[in-house]
Chains A and B, each alone.
Chain A
Amino acid sequence: MLLLIPFLPLLGFAILSFFGKRLQSEIVIGSIATAMVAIPFVIAGTVLLSQGYPQTVTAFHWFKAGSLTVDLAYSFDQLSILFTLIITGIGTLIHVYSIGYMHGDRSFFRFFAYLNLFIFMMLNLVLADNFVVTFLGWEGVGLASYLLIGFWYERRFDGVDIVWTGDAAKKAFVMNRIGDVGMLVAMFLVFLHFGSLRYSDVNAAVVAVPIDGTIMTIIALCLFLGATGKSAQLPLYTWLPDAMAGPTPVSALIHAATMVTSGIFLLARCAPIFALSPTAMNIVAYIGVATALFAATMGLVQNDIKKVLAYSTVSQLGFMFAALGVGATTAAIFHVTTHAFFKACLFLGAGSVIHGMHEEQDIQKMGGLRKYMPVTYSTFLISSIAIAGIFPFSGFFSKDEILWNVYDKGSPILWGGLVLAAFCTAFYMFRLLNLTFGGKERFDVYHTKPHESPVTMTFPLVVLSFLAMVGGLLGIPHALGHIIHIPNVLEEFLLPVLSPANQILHRVQPTEIHSIEYILMLVSLGIGLLGIAIASSWYRIESDSPKILSEKFSGVYRLLWNKYFVDELYGGLIVRPLQKLSSTIFYHSVDTIGIDGLVNSTGTLTEILSSFFRRLQTGIVQRYALFMMVGIALTLLWLLFA
């Protein structure tokens, strides 16, 4: 029964791949694909309600070599069930949405086949009982992401060194592979030191006999390298903005709600390893904060509706890593959950706008859409308030818990960075909201007739915005909860999985309430409101302030507009030198002239030598006799005197 959770989406993928073309009816295809995700959601929900966890189910034996045995086994515990619910829940909604969004596409079935494949791989990633199955899912979601980014492969896409959507897809896959090298090395180290690749074995061994701290740091950092790839953190984040080349539901599902949170999942799963390495934790925290801030600033000036959201995702993931870095795993996972709600809603809202605006993505050419698409507008507004962290929407609770933990267990500097990033978040979101929906129409109202999307698209928006509104109830902080006697549900739920790491970190249940926590809460709320206020005053009515500001600080503006030239930097420092090395130096010089030249010259040498010896073979018998005589004479002499 439990095995149906990962395998139904695989079945869906198989059915759609083989028979999708013959099915023809979009409704049938969409329904099959949706059912294959919805049923696992229901099963996972049943498991949750009946408390059928933790348990491990083995599908089959995968491979065995020497002392390494790997099974395709799934472990159902609090952590994996939570992620499963997010993946299948949001996955179901996005499948429904896609039925409307992809209507009329000539490869309709292919899209849903890929989505099902993605869900299968993602479930493997989170349900895995060992590293190798996680890696299967890890690379598998990379494959699905590649296929979906390049779904409209004949379309162009603008980017540094990118011409086609396929180039963006390739970039995503190859950059992720860099992170995957880290994953691989981490697995080698884990196997070397613990003799097993099962999470339960490894985490138990880590807690029981803490081994050399340096090794732990290396393992942790290798895992983190993998996480920076998949979860688009510094320095491997540049693929995510380009991944927007894919259809918008893909951006919502893969590049916002689920796949990009794999890194957070991995670190949470391996929390005991990280707990043993303060160095690694610090690095995670700093990278997280740096990414949060760095990406948020880039989001300030983007004009592509999806790119703003993409940088926002990178930034929000940075928040989650910051939380992991200070050991606040629950807070990170809480933010994964709420972020999945509001960011999926925002992306789907953006998709609805793009759909209604007939493939227009530039927010400068929008405006005033509020009256054309009321449902999209209201859900977008709710989610924007949520991501800006305004009480009592879900983003407030999760973001605030991260900020408090970072302040309490990290440092004020880290906290300051995140607060600044939170300010930027509120600002760019309301800039986006106002430029898109507010003000007057900046498009030709006679030719472009924006329309509200069909109900298959608006229904998921409504559900997600509702969740974005109330999702905070899952993790009400003790500081507020104790007043109204509501426990922190999520924290209590996750406690059994996270306690080994907490033990190492000497983390106890917080009972004491600090007055400073309330102050910080107000500060973050105020910062959010400030960002909203400024953005609204600048962009609701067409104000000159942004223009004046961008002219005044044209250097900074250009830097942000060009995304700090990071893509150009990577291109100039790594990609092109590598191409030059392989083509000019290795292929045309070393291999062709050098090695092969050497080989061929031995041939030439043989020819020269043989042409010399050929002269001896004259066919004149007398000369042969002479050579023989000389030879015999020399031999005799040698025998005599040696």
Chain B
Amino acid sequence: MHLILLLTLLTPLLCATILGFIDRKEASVLKYTALIGSCFSLVLAFIAYASFDSSSHVIQFALNLAWMKQYDIGFRIGADGLGIVMLMISAGMMPIILLSAFRTILNREKEFYILMMVLQFGMFGIVLSLDLVLFYVFFELILIPLYFLIGMWGGVGRIRAATKFFIYTMVGSLAMLIGIIWLGMIAKETLGTFSADLLKLRVIAPSLSIQLQSWLFVAFGLAFAIKVPLVPFHTWLPETYTEAPLPVTLTLAGMVFKLGLFGFIRYGIDLFPSASAYFAPLVATLAVIGIIYGALLALAQTDMKKLVAYSVISHKGFIVLGLFSLTAEGLQGGMVQIVNNGIATVALFLCVGILYDRRKTYEIAEFGGAATLMPILAVIMGIASFASAALPGLNGFVGEFLSLTGAFRSGFLNSWSYAILGATGAVLSAAYSLKLYNGVMFGARENSRNDMLSDLRPFELVQLIPLMILILLLGFFPHYVMSKTDAFSRALAGSLEIRAIGTSQYTNDVRQREADLRSSQAGVPKQESAPIH
């Protein structure tokens, strides 16, 4: 059982290897091999998810392999509440994304699926690593497949988009590398050796001086701010999202986007609490600007794919605002929204992709009255649009509501204006979501080129129905996700609060977490591997 994470992690790599031996002419064999591989890792991830004990802070399914012993860099993986949720969403999205590639990627399939599998491997690695150097390796690893995926299968401006994406994220990553080395050097003073062990560092880093923490926070934070992206580091996003082929857009929207947010929690807030508190108003301000600015830009679009892409910036704003409220409510809301927003956005992009498939255009004005000929798509796109507009009862609501609640009551932000301004995003999100939906589905069908629109095919339904089920299910039963992160968010918020004002209502959670993490560390012998439970 304790090897389950390792198995999950290695499945895509194994799958990529197998793909390498398959003849490139066998397109359907390639497709199904990749699909089966991703389903297999989904099953594994689900087993880990289901058997994860959410009442404990102990790092579960941990594995510690020596790598560079003299620098205390190891192959350390394991899962806490945050990690297991992130793993689950990465694993869950992949089969849907691969299915969407079946009809959209029609050349060089072999390379495509291998790259997708390598990407999946990197994604898993990022969320499972408990070692900063290992994390960095995975963080950089995903850039390579992404660069080629965008650059080889993208639209007209693909090369420019891929390069822009690559350079943008490279700049951030370099800053982070400096941060990692610096932090490892600092650890030398206490531990006597350079260290990249997250569990050791997360004890050392929070006690550093505020100045030092701030520099380190900036170094790490820049990488994440670009990955999220936060305004004003966002201009790669619309270009990349629109130029990338549909499956890659889905990958970006459903999986890659969460890395920056995940990074902010694990390598920002948890590692540098004082600096996070110090920067919270700044980050929250950027988040609120992102909410409104992104929404206004979405409102200005006439191109469906661009509209959804800009809406992503707005939605990320809610999540970041929640996280940097540094309250249990906000953290919890932000984390659940990472999952839910990914689902809704992927569903919307899929709908847009289907419309494109029928008419080869993304212009809203080219459509109108599509609901008559595409009733099933009308229902599905309606659900996805309203989920994206955070309608209660659908999955987008709980996260945004809690994020705003957290921001409102946050002592770190200490102002209502963040939440109030953020809440106005609700008006704008309704406006742009319905602009898209009304424009495509409602009205009379006046353009004769739309007379041939055909409704969803079984093959497309297979992609969308799981997402619809999740949207409806998580709308009323978000605790399938939230129970995993509940203890984590309370402990994290509690430790921040204790650091700031000396007391917290979550003191017990904080103590429990510290004790559990210490036992995780103590329980890891220096040998090859060891389970902890």
Q: A-side interface residues toward B, CB under 8 Å?
A: 17, 60-68, 72, 132, 135-136, 138-140, 143, 146, 150, 153-156, 163-167, 169-170, 173-174, 177-178, 180-181, 184-185, 187-189, 191-192, 578-579, 581-583, 586-587, 591, 595-596, 599, 603
Residue of B nearest to A61 (CB): B479
Q: Is B512's beta carbon under 8 Å from chain A?
A: no
Give the shortest distance, in Å, between B232 (CB) and chain A (any CB).
5
Residues of B within 8 A of A138 (CB): 392
Given contacts A66-B327, A177-B427, A177-B430, contact A596 B443 (CB under 8 A): no
Residue of B nearest to A181 (CB): B423
Q: Is B167's beta carbon under 8 Å from chain A?
A: yes
A586 near B443 with CB under 8 A, answer no
Give the shortest distance, in Å, between A159 (CB) and chain B (any CB).
14
A595 near B232 with CB under 8 A, answer yes
B296 near A586 with CB under 8 A, answer yes
B409 near A192 with CB under 8 A, answer yes
| Complex interface bits, B287-301 against A, C-beta within 8 A gives 1, otherwise 0 | 000000100110111
Given contacts A63-B479, A66-B490, A173-B434, contact A595 B235 (CB under 8 A): yes
A188 near B404 with CB under 8 A, answer yes
Q: B-side interface residues toward A, CB under 8 Å?
A: 164, 167-168, 232, 234-236, 293, 296-297, 299-301, 327-329, 332-333, 336, 369, 371-372, 379, 386, 391-393, 397-398, 401-402, 404-406, 408-409, 416, 419-420, 423-424, 426-427, 430-431, 434-435, 438, 441-445, 476-479, 482-483, 486, 489-490, 493, 505-506
Residue of B nearest to A580 (CB): B300
In the bound assembly, the distance between CA atoms of A61 and B482 in angstroms comes to 12
B329 near A66 with CB under 8 A, answer yes
Residues of B within 8 A of A166 (CB): 438, 441-443
A587 near B438 with CB under 8 A, answer no
Which 8 A/B pairs are nearest by Cβ-Cβ distance? Answer: A66-B328, A166-B442, A65-B332, A582-B296, A188-B408, A583-B300, A153-B442, A596-B235
B297 near A582 with CB under 8 A, answer yes
B297 near A587 with CB under 8 A, answer yes
Residues of B within 8 A of A595 (CB): 232, 234-235
In the bound assembly, the distance between CA atoms of A170 and B393 in angstroms comes to 19
Residues of A within 8 A of B444 (CB): 154-156, 164
B442 near A136 with CB under 8 A, answer no
Give the shortest distance, in Å, between A19 (CB) and chain B (any CB).
14
Residues of B within 8 A of A132 (CB): 392, 401
Give the shortest distance, in Å, between B134 (CB) and chain A (any CB).
30
Given contacts A68-B329, A153-B442, A177-B430, contact A579 B300 (CB under 8 A): yes
Give the shortest distance, in Å, between A587 (CB) and chain B (any CB).
4
In the bound assembly, the distance between CA atoms of A143 and B379 in angstroms comes to 13
In the bound assembly, the distance between CA atoms of A64 and B404 in angstroms comes to 15
A184 near B300 with CB under 8 A, answer no
Given contacts A586-B300, A595-B232, contact A136 B393 (CB under 8 A): yes
A582 near B328 with CB under 8 A, answer no
Give the shortest distance, in Å, between B314 (CB) and chain A (any CB).
12
Residues of B within 8 A of A66 (CB): 327-329, 332, 406, 489-490, 493, 506
Interface centre among B333, B391, B490 (most CB of A within 10 A): B391
Residues of A within 8 A of B234 (CB): 595
Residues of B within 8 A of A587 (CB): 297, 300-301
Residues of A within 8 A of B489 (CB): 65-66
Give the shortest distance, in Å, between A472 (CB) and chain B (any CB).
37
Residue of B nearest to A66 (CB): B328
The majority secondary structure among interface residues of chain A is helix
A578 near B371 with CB under 8 A, answer no
A586 near B297 with CB under 8 A, answer yes
A65 near B482 with CB under 8 A, answer yes
In the bound assembly, the distance between CA atoms of A587 and B294 in angstroms comes to 10
Given contacts A166-B438, A170-B434, contact A65 B371 (CB under 8 A): no
Residues of A within 8 A of B438 (CB): 150, 164, 166-167, 169-170
In the bound assembly, the distance between CA atoms of A153 and B382 in angstroms comes to 14
Residues of A within 8 A of B476 (CB): 60, 62, 72
Give the shortest distance, in Å, between B335 (CB) and chain A (any CB).
9
The majority secondary structure among interface residues of chain B is helix
In the bound assembly, the distance between CA atoms of A67 and B505 in angstroms comes to 9
Given contacts A192-B409, A579-B300, A595-B235, contact A174 B434 (CB under 8 A): yes
A154 near B445 with CB under 8 A, answer yes
Residue of A nearest to B505 (CB): A67
B369 near A67 with CB under 8 A, answer no
In the bound assembly, the distance between CA atoms of A173 and B391 in angstroms comes to 11
Give the shortest distance, in Å, between A12 (CB) and chain B (any CB).
16
Given contacts A66-B328, A139-B391, contact A153 B369 (CB under 8 A): yes
A188 near B386 with CB under 8 A, answer no
Residues of A within 8 A of B299 (CB): 578-579, 582-583
In the bound assembly, the distance between CA atoms of A326 and B329 in angstroms comes to 37
Residue of B nearest to A594 (CB): B232
B426 near A140 with CB under 8 A, answer no
Given contacts A136-B393, A185-B420, A591-B235, contact A177 B443 (CB under 8 A): no
Residue of A nearest to B408 (CB): A188
**Contacts A153-B369, A184-B401, A192-B408 supplied; 16 other A-B pairs, CB < 8 Å:** A63-B479, A64-B479, A65-B332, A65-B333, A66-B489, A132-B392, A132-B401, A138-B392, A139-B391, A155-B444, A156-B444, A173-B434, A188-B409, A579-B300, A587-B297, A596-B235
A581 near B409 with CB under 8 A, answer no
16 contacts between A and B (CB under 8 A): A60-B476, A63-B402, A64-B486, A65-B402, A68-B405, A143-B386, A153-B441, A154-B445, A156-B444, A173-B430, A177-B430, A184-B401, A185-B408, A185-B419, A583-B299, A599-B236
A67 near B297 with CB under 8 A, answer no
Residues of A within 8 A of B398 (CB): 62-63
Residues of B within 8 A of A64 (CB): 479, 482-483, 486
Residue of A nearest to B298 (CB): A582
Residues of A within 8 A of B232 (CB): 595
Partner of B393, one of A63, A140, A180, A599: A140
Residues of A within 8 A of B293 (CB): 586
Residues of B within 8 A of A61 (CB): 479
Residues of A within 8 A of B372 (CB): 154
Give the shortest distance, in Å, between B384 (CB) and chain A (any CB).
14
In the bound assembly, the distance between CA atoms of A154 and B483 in angstroms comes to 45
Give the shortest distance, in Å, between A327 (CB) and chain B (any CB).
28
Given contacts A174-B434, A582-B299, contact A185 B423 (CB under 8 A): yes
B423 near A164 with CB under 8 A, answer no
Residues of B within 8 A of A154 (CB): 369, 372, 442-445
A184 near B404 with CB under 8 A, answer yes
Interface centre among B297, B419, B430 (most CB of A within 10 A): B430
Residues of B within 8 A of A591 (CB): 235, 297
In the bound assembly, the distance between CA atoms of A17 and B409 in angstroms comes to 40
Residues of B within 8 A of A579 (CB): 299-300
Give the shortest distance, in Å, between B185 (CB) and chain A (any CB).
26
In the bound assembly, the distance between CA atoms of A153 and B440 in angstroms comes to 11
Residues of A within 8 A of B168 (CB): 599
Partner of A63, one of B404, B435, B482, B506: B482
Give the shortest distance, in Å, between A147 (CB) and chain B (any CB).
8
Residues of B within 8 A of A181 (CB): 420, 423-424, 426-427
A582 near B300 with CB under 8 A, answer yes
B392 near A140 with CB under 8 A, answer yes
Residues of B within 8 A of A192 (CB): 408-409
